[in-house]
Structure 1
């Protein structure tokens, strides 16, 4: 009998190696298996072979610490452990000074340039600073999504490269994803990820929370639908575990999974309920998406970007002031342009030119 019940899946050809849930590189991820074939781990429990550039490793021990309800209750579970369970090591943090040094140089940041082309320079910079997105020198044009927790401490930063024109991730000749703590070669670093945008929760206590997979999607959706606090899990599995989800206790949460991930995210609803989170899932996209959208793995940002910004501002105002729609209908008004909507004062600037009366 093996000394360890849970082991990394032995190599049995390319079919036994999978895509890493963090760096998204193919055929480099080894999953943990139960030698007694009584328990199946989620797909993100395993180790990435790219220890320097990625370093992702979620062990069975860490998984059961975060999800105690899944812990096997067999009598031999405790007997086969070599040592007593130790409390999890505290998270490591990156200095605020290091983060601050990246919050500039947006003119050479491809993600900023894309957001600027869609929403204008002022709103693009506001979103970057609000969500604590920096500029990285690791690749020309790269950005860094700093993961700042609810207490304002930075857990890590995901370094990514986007195309400034399309806003899509650059995947050729390789998938440009790395981690700040790995690039900085910080010794003994203990990574415990948190939601991207988590630091916005304390200042938005009255707003419901919307969860998406991609950091870029959280930024874009926050512009179109500012009545939510938009957070990103950082991947299909990402922060959907008990350890990370506890910051959402007592909040209303809507899950917006990417196309193809709805079933996996729906399985997290019982866990969220057990943590005191009132969660629902938005599956409208799965119902209306065509095969092309599904194969591309579209998310809500891909659909929101199809809405003209002026129209999005008007719809936001109508949601807040429903009588505005009746006013527009009765007077047969047509939207011409919206120069800027200020959500803090709830006013449109240059309102005299915003609506054109067709009568």
Structure 2
């Protein structure tokens, strides 16, 4: 047995230093690791380098004391619970600090008040053009997607955790015709807690769509990067619980992933993100998650598609018009057909739009009032 089993992660590059959970200073926090690679500590087990101004230090010993279930499952760690066998940094005198504060939440009534005004919501107008207004409304309500006044036409993707608590809301603006994010003259992304100027807000993100897990305990889960992909994929592949990380790394940490313990999970990364997501698989397996990665898009994408960083939603709605049919899409895009065959899925057909929907999509310009 090595003399020092639990040590602070050695410096490799700036990416090996993280944001402190206490003072929130970037690249100042060092996490503990298990040199035997049997235990993966939560992200808050570590030490802040700002010893005088912060002093946060949550050690493996404290973690084992707070989580006796971990000690019971790993009987070989008993010599370390008393502080033996830990690196020198473990015993350095640093002011005692409490574990991280619980995540802040937002009043659920506020979320409910945003669940309207969809005629002025660019994201809704695009989804309605693809799947029809009735289905689009169902998806907006299923995923807790509201309408924001922050920018005319913007939406808010509320992050609702498995317990129904609102962690925050991501405000984004989409082009109502293309379904692409508006990035000119700047990237239109903000956060509800920032816009509301909530004091001392402790942001701890969860998966977008996570609240569905409790109602569907036995269904397989599919994880994508963007909220839009999760919404569109839910229409075509409803047998999966679709979640979004909200970014390439997003909710990919042990705390957020713990809600998927015991689940069967498919990772569906955007083009260009497959390698980064593959790195997460060992951590997910250590949390009791049965995980597989869908990399067909990565292995078969054209250079143009790879450059654009297309995702599953792009394939599902590629060249889709209100009169389009999924079979036509599969004929034009063999990758989509392979996706269907790989997942052995029963796809929901593309909805026909009413004359009113078609007129709204082709003729109407959204109003400036976001509701």
Q: Alpha-carbon deviation of 1:206?
A: 2.0
Partners of 1:295 and 1:321 lie apart in 2 by 30
Q: 1:224 touches 1:312 (CA, 8 Å); kept in 2?
A: no
Q: Check if 1:105 corresponds to 2:117.
A: yes
Asked whether 1:196 is paired with 2:165, we answer no
Shift in alpha-carbon separation, 1:58–1:65, aligned structure 2, 3 A: farther
Tell me the SS of whatever aligns to 1:112. helix
Q: Which string of whole-angstrom CA distances, capped at 9 and with x for unpartnered residues, describes residues 63-117 of structure 1?
A: 9642759999862322446323521111110001110110000000000000011
Matched residue, 2:326: 311
Counterpart among 152, 174, 197 of residue 162 in structure 1: 174
**Paired residue secondary structure (1:159):** strand
Secondary structure class of the residue paired with 2:114: coil
Q: 1:78 aligns with which of 85, 90, 95?
A: 90
Q: Output one character per residue of 1:160-208: Cα deviation in whole Å (capped at 9) or x when no partner.
A: 0000001000000000000000111111111111000000001112210
Tell me the matched-pair count. Answer: 285
Superposed, which structure 2 residues align to 1:240-251 within 5 Å? 240-251=252-263
Residues 81 and 281 of structure 1: CA distance in aligned 2, closer, same or farther (over 3 Å):
farther
Q: Is the 8 A contact 2:31 2:46 kept in 1?
A: no
CA drift of 1:306 comes to 2.4
Q: State the secondary structure of the residue aligned to 2:234.
A: helix
Distance 1:232 1:195 in 2: 6
Give unmatched runs, 5+ long, in structure 1: 1-33, 48-54, 323-334, 341-359
Instruction: Tell whether 2:234 aligns with 1:222.
Output: yes
Aligned residue for 1:202, secondary structure, equals: coil
Supply the distance in 2 between the matched residues of 1:281 and 1:245 (Cα, whole angstroms): 15
Q: What is the root-mean-square deviation of aligned Cα atoms in Å?
A: 3.3
8 Å CA contact 1:233, 1:240 repeated in 2: yes
Q: Match for 2:288 among 252, 273, 276?
A: 276
User: Is residue 2:11 matched to residue 1:38?
Assistant: yes
Q: Are the equivalent residues in 2 in contact too, given 1:67–1:242 (CA < 8 A)?
A: no
The alpha-carbon distance between structure 1 residues 76 and 320, as it changes in their structure 2 partners (threshold 3 A), is closer
- CA change 1:147–1:45 in 2 (3 A) is same
Aligned mates of 2:25, 2:241 — CA distance in 1: 27
2:78 corresponding residue in structure 1? none
User: Structure 2 CA distance, aligned partners of 1:284 and 1:321?
Assistant: 19
CA distance in 1, matches of 2:28, 2:139: 35
Are residues 1:66 and 2:43 paired? yes
Cα–Cα, structure 1 residues 338 and 178, in superposed 2: closer, same or farther, change >3 Å?
closer
Q: Distance in 1 between matches of 2:214 and 2:233?
A: 19
What whole-Å deviation, never above 9, does each CA across 1:316-347 have from its counterpart, x for those lacking one? 8x95789xxxxxxxxxxxx9x9659xxxxxxx
For residue 101 of structure 2, give the secondary structure of its aligned residue in structure 1.
coil
2:17–2:27 Cα contact (<8 Å) kept: yes
Once residues 62 and 158 of structure 1 are traced to their aligned partners in structure 2, the CA distance between those partners, rounded to angstroms, is: 28
Q: Secondary structure at the match of 1:204?
A: coil
Quote the Cα distance in structure 1 between the aligned partners of 2:210 and 2:101.
21
The verdict on how the C-alpha distance between 1:174 and 1:339 changes in structure 2, with shifts beyond 3 A counting, is closer
**Contact 1:136 1:142 survives alignment (8 Å):** yes
Deviations 1:272-299 (Å, cap 9, x if unpaired)? 0000000011110111111111111111
Q: How does 1:12-31 map to 2 (within 5 A)?
A: none
Task: Give the Å deviation of 1:217.
Answer: 0.7
Alignment of 1:231 onto 2:231: no
1: distance between equivalents of 2:17 and 2:173? Answer: 23
Q: Is the 8 A contact 1:67 1:241 kept in 2?
A: no
Matching residue of 1:328: none
Q: In structure 2, how many angstroms separate the alpha carbons of the residues matched to 1:225 and 1:283?
A: 17
CA separation of 1:266 and 1:68: change in aligned 2, threshold 3 A: farther
Higher relative contact order (CA 8 A, sep 6+): 2
Show the counterpart of 1:285.
297
Gaps of 5+ in 2: 1-7, 33-40, 48-58, 61-84, 331-336, 354-371
The residue number in structure 2 matching 1:300 is: 312
